[in-house]
Every structure is written in structure tokens, then in C-alpha cells.
Amino acid sequence: MQRIVFVSAFAPLMVACALVIAAFLSHKISTPLAMLSESVARIGSGDLQVRAHITGPEELRRLAMSVNTMAKSLENHLEVLKNETRRREQLETEVRLASEVQRSVLPENGTILESIELSGMCHQSKEVGGGVPRGRRRGGDYRKVS
């Protein structure tokens, strides 16, 4: 009888202690997970500068390191893509300008010269060659045509 009273008196205390321990352990795991989830959500919305700084169980720290590595990789790939897009847009502008210059220099209808038979074709350029040949930049090899 005394045992039953002893067990029934301490049973609620033991259940309360178990609940406190469970709450502590749950908090210790759920807090880093919530922080990691917030970091991942910010990365997903486009903020690639965010890094997850997690203190907690080793598995969560490794997961945070993987998320950080992924964010850095995405950041690098995005920078490469931006640079490539910028370079491509610049080349397209140069080709368009070269094509306009080419069309403005050459006549649309062929010129008829009675003493000479001459024909030619004009193809639009697909890329720009890039400038003046070496040795001709200085020295006045260019003549002004009026």
C-alpha cells in the first residue's frame, strides 16, 4: 500500500520532468530548423547573399553548410550568366551598327559604268572583326575622301 502511494505521489512529478526534457530537446532541434528554413526561403526568393549560421546537432550544421555551398554556387553561376548576357548584348549592338554602316556606305542599286563591267554582292556581317590593322593606326595612311 505504501508503494502505491509513493508511486502515485511521484508519478505526476516524473511525467512533468519528462515533459520538460521533451520540450527542451524539441526546442533545441526546432529552433535551428526554423532558422535554416528562413535562410532557405530568403535564398529561394532571390537573396543569394544569405548564409545559414546554425548551431545545433551536427546533421543540421552539415545541412546548413550544404545550403550555403548551394547559395554560393548559384551566386557564381548567376554572375557568369550576367556577364555572358552583357557580352552578347554588346556584340549584338556592334553587329547591328556594323550592318548599318555597311548598308549606308554601299549603294542599294548598282552603279552603271559604261566602260567597266563590275558586279558585287553585299552580305551582312554576323560578327565584328575588331578594328584597324596593326601599323596603320599612326602615320596618316588614311585619306580623306570628299
- Burial (CB < 10 A; 0-12, 13-18, 19+), residue 42, is middle
Main-chain phi, psi angles of 95, to 5 degrees: -65, -40
Model confidence at 137, pLDDT cuts 50, 70, 90, reads very low
Number of domains in the chain: 1
**89, part of any domain:** no
**59, part of any domain:** yes
Q: Which three cell numbers stand for residue 146?
A: 570628299
Cβ–Cβ < 8 Å for 38, 53: no
User: Where does the chain have alpha helices with state H?
Assistant: 2-44, 58-105
Cβ–Cβ < 8 Å for 56, 29: yes
**35, part of any domain:** yes
Cβ–Cβ < 8 Å for 82, 57: no
- Express each pLDDT in 19-47 by its tens digit: 999 888 888 888 888 999 999 999 999 99
**125, part of any domain:** no
- Express each pLDDT in 122-131 by its tens digit: 666 666 665 5
Could you list the residue range(s) of the whole structural domain that residue 54 is in? 7-78
**46, part of any domain:** yes
**130, part of any domain:** no
